[in-house]
Structure 1
């Protein structure tokens, strides 16, 4: 039997196309690296002539916190590091492709450690990762813009906040590493609160009634508020929610990615709720009663998102991050 809802979702989910992403990246694999390697120096020199020079360096230093005199176990790093040209393509191909898009500007003989997946610990040695915990002494976690086909998605929301319904929506999967989502669902699933529309997108044997079909992004945007709950690491929907005219609602983040979640200001870029969600209804009602403050949060969120939309600048920042990594780790190589 054809599931019409499933077909509708596939055609209208509003997400980036995985097919186009992989076609583009497999084609890039055939392009000679010498072309991009020639461009690297001129691209990096161009930074010094840009009016946003200081901003670019600031972003690069945020992602790569190592300094030239940074000390780490070089012997341990050398045991794990591989040449870029010998980097295996793991099952999670998006990490490989996104990292290689930047690495192709450098010598393929340089060595690195590229760690795929949702990382919530600080590696023992300098490592290229997508996500890192928000904690002190996380210099070994060097952030690149990885898995961007899923995470970096922005929307053009034409529906004004005041025209949306006075509820918060949550759709997401549950699992053993997502205890916060389980806490949320136990409180608000099954219509326990009229202001909260909460359902799981995967089957949970203990709570089969929690599962509902996935909703498109456009359907989410009928709600004034959208829950952005961390999963294995960060909340993957946070980027598109902050680009919309709805407001992200979440506890303070514990991890960050290229989106620099650690720099977000509570109740300025998003609505902060307690980790146990005990104040959720109170916080929603406050902003429903104070629409000007809600719309100010939306404006601040849009301003924050805008900094990631300049693709040329994003490339320059990525090049600086990786060059700094190679300079500090590959001390006996010619970058």
Structure 2
């Protein structure tokens, strides 16, 4: 059975995004109550925990010299998907409410409490309010994947090599017998590393998949953790809606050193211990499941904005 890759079709994504600008909406409080009634007590507890993780700031946006109001989200500029994904939930709130946002690949903490897609895991990141942005690209899932034991005993890695840390990895391991690496960008990197892009389905023929951070987080980490292949990466330093900062090496993924020096040792260790591989796969799948319920995701997003836009006095 071929694995099923669950991802949004961009054409329909944009149709729905622009329809939201003309369709009537209810208030945020009514929408939140509707969603809460449809969830179990346990699901609502998890929503509360996640909202507190995403929004750690207690500073009201209107007291922080906001750059915009919610009304400004109705006129998206590049990157448009960030406006669409924020407006999907902001439309339930009064459009005159102030908001700060920093859209794009964010690797630092804003000076003011702001909506962002990504933030540093370490340091004081209270001003970084996470929302699920650019999710059509980032949130892709794999279902009905082939069993782990049927896959090749190799680490597969395809990606753009622009950043110094990716260049360093490829310099060490391109051509290594335990790795199948390929650079997909024609400019930059090293022309000797260039290979064609391959599909997600082709990645899934391998037991181990490289998940290196790029401009921010590793984009492929979500679908890798939902598959029957295992993510291999250093400990994340950046996080998004996927809460990468809460992942644990040896529990959710195979952790390698920041200088990548123990990659071969780690791969050999896990190949020799299939029970540890099964343990990681079970935990990775369980972790991903918390993002599968659409009503839970909607409630999390609305309550993050409620906490940010209308914090309790």
TM-score, normalised by the number of residues in structure 2 = 0.92
Distance 2:47 2:308 in 1: 16
Deviation at 1:65, TM superposition (A): 0.3
SS at match of 1:29: coil
SS at match of 2:101: coil
Q: For 2:172, which of 169, 175, 187 is the aligned residue?
A: 187
Distance 1:253 1:304 in 2: 16
Which runs of 5 or more structure 2 residues have no equivalent in the other structure? none
Q: For 2:113, which of 126, 136, 140 is the aligned residue?
A: 126
Q: For 1:91, which of 78, 98, 105 is the aligned residue?
A: 78
Is contact 2:69–2:95 with CA below 8 Å preserved after alignment?
yes
Distance 1:319 1:71 in 2: 16
Distance 2:154 2:278 in 1: 16
SS at match of 1:197: strand
Is contact 2:217–2:238 with CA below 8 Å preserved after alignment?
yes
Residues 160-182 of structure 1, C-alpha deviations (whole Å, 9 max, x = no match): 1111000000001122xx22111
Is contact 2:85–2:134 with CA below 8 Å preserved after alignment?
yes
SS at match of 2:71: helix
Residues 239-282 of structure 1, C-alpha deviations (whole Å, 9 max, x = no match): 00000000000000000000000000111000000111111011
Q: How does 1:309-328 map to 2 (within 5 A)?
A: 309-328=292-311
Is 1:24 the counterpart of 2:24 in the alignment? no
Q: How does 1:136-285 map to 2 (within 5 A)?
A: 136-175=123-162, 178-189=163-174, 191=175, 193-205=176-188, 207-285=190-268
Is contact 1:168–1:225 with CA below 8 Å preserved after alignment?
yes
Is contact 2:61–2:309 with CA below 8 Å preserved after alignment?
no
Is contact 1:39–1:105 with CA below 8 Å preserved after alignment?
no
Is 1:50 the counterpart of 2:41 in the alignment? yes
SS at match of 1:236: coil
Deviation at 1:45, TM superposition (A): 5.8
Deviation at 1:58, TM superposition (A): 0.9
Deviation at 1:301, TM superposition (A): 0.2
Distance 2:101 2:38 in 1: 26
Is contact 2:5–2:141 with CA below 8 Å preserved after alignment?
no
**Count of matched residue pairs:** 309
SS at match of 1:170: strand
Deviation at 1:206, TM superposition (A): 5.8
Residues 63-88 of structure 1, C-alpha deviations (whole Å, 9 max, x = no match): 00023xx48993xx32x421111234
Larger radius of gyration: 1
Residues 25-64 of structure 1, C-alpha deviations (whole Å, 9 max, x = no match): 122222123x355733533763897333222111101000
Is contact 1:64–1:325 with CA below 8 Å preserved after alignment?
yes
Is 1:103 the counterpart of 2:90 in the alignment? yes
Distance 1:20 1:40 in 2: 23
